[in-house]
Amino acid sequence: MLAFIGGTGLTRMDDLEIRHRHDIETRYGKPSAPVAEGELNGVPVLFLARHGDPHVWLPHQVNYRANMQALKDAGATAIVAVNAVGGITAPAGALVLPEQIIDYTWGRDSTLFDDPNDPLVHVDFSWPFDPVLRRRLRGALERAGLQWVDGGCYAATQGPRLETAAEILRLERDGCDIVGMTGMPEAVLARELGIPYAMLSLVVNPAAGKASREITMAEIEAVLHTGMSDVRTVLATLAAG
């Protein structure tokens, strides 16, 4: 079953007809919120609010392992994660379908294989996002008739503070195009669980040093409102096949 993870601006999917809420306890603890199972335009899907419902968990506080395990336990066979991000090379308002990721986070539980009683497993992570799922997302974006950016690199930073202008310059030199705080370890945990995973990112503001003036929260919220409406359209189109 196709699953969606909603980030900032997508705590709920208003067009999802919820049939059941899975209140799952995993070996890693409880997920951020119950996993909602329902129908999106008649198609069965799962939904999980990454930061809780209401939004309570900061990026470094999210129990990513419990979230991903709960989705698997609820029957997820593919996961599309939605992120609100800052734009390094991508403009505000853009939808981005990243192809690569660089992890700058620290101190997070980043693997399912840290039990000394279990065998050690190294997963190949050369291409972090599933190519088949990315192709399906490309098709949905094209059918929805939206402007979007295919490819690019997502920088996963620790948060919850935003980055300095110097840090953004460093990320740009490293080849990053967008910056967020939730892409890792989420992406690698999906790989460890064997679940195809792809990311759809909405650029809500220029990254630090990339604008000629200070960006207000009102401007960010306006982009979130419009952009997440487009994201909902894409997800519904994707679910419909």
* CATH number of 34's domain: 3.40.50.1580
Measured between alpha carbons, how far is 157 from 198 in angstroms, rounded to an integer? 18
The residue type of 159 is: G
Residue carrying the six token digits 């990254």: 207
Span 17-29, average pLDDT: 93
Strands 197-206 and 95-97: antiparallel
Averaged pLDDT, 154-171: 96
Average pLDDT over residues 11-20: 84
Of 131 and 215, more confident: 131
Cβ atoms of residues 173 and 148 within 8 Å: no
pLDDT tens figures, 117-151: 888 889 999 999 999 999 999 999 999 988 899 99
Whether 195 shows a pLDDT value over 80: the answer reads yes
The total number of structural domains in the chain stands at 1
Per-residue pLDDT tens digits for 47-101: 999 999 888 999 999 999 999 999 999 999 999 999 999 999 999 999 999 999 9
Q: What is the pLDDT of residue 49?
A: 95
Average pLDDT for the chain: 93
The number of C-alpha atoms within 13 Å of 202 and in the hemisphere containing its C-beta is 27
**How many CA atoms lie within 13 Å of 34's alpha carbon, on the beta-carbon side?**
9
Task: Give residue 212's pLDDT band: very low, low, confident or very high (50, 70, 90).
Answer: confident
pTM: 0.94
Q: Which amino acid is at 142?
A: E
Query: What band does 230 get if pLDDT is binned at 50, 70 and 90?
Result: very high
Q: Which of 86, 90, 95 is nearest to 167 (CA)?
A: 86
Q: What are phi and psi of 157, to 5 degrees?
A: -105, 165
In DSSP terms, 103 is beta-bridged to 156
What count of residues does the chain have? 241
pLDDT of residue 165: 95
> 88, 155 in Cβ contact below 8 A?
yes
pLDDT confidence of residue 156: 98
Q: Which domain holds residue 112?
A: 2-240
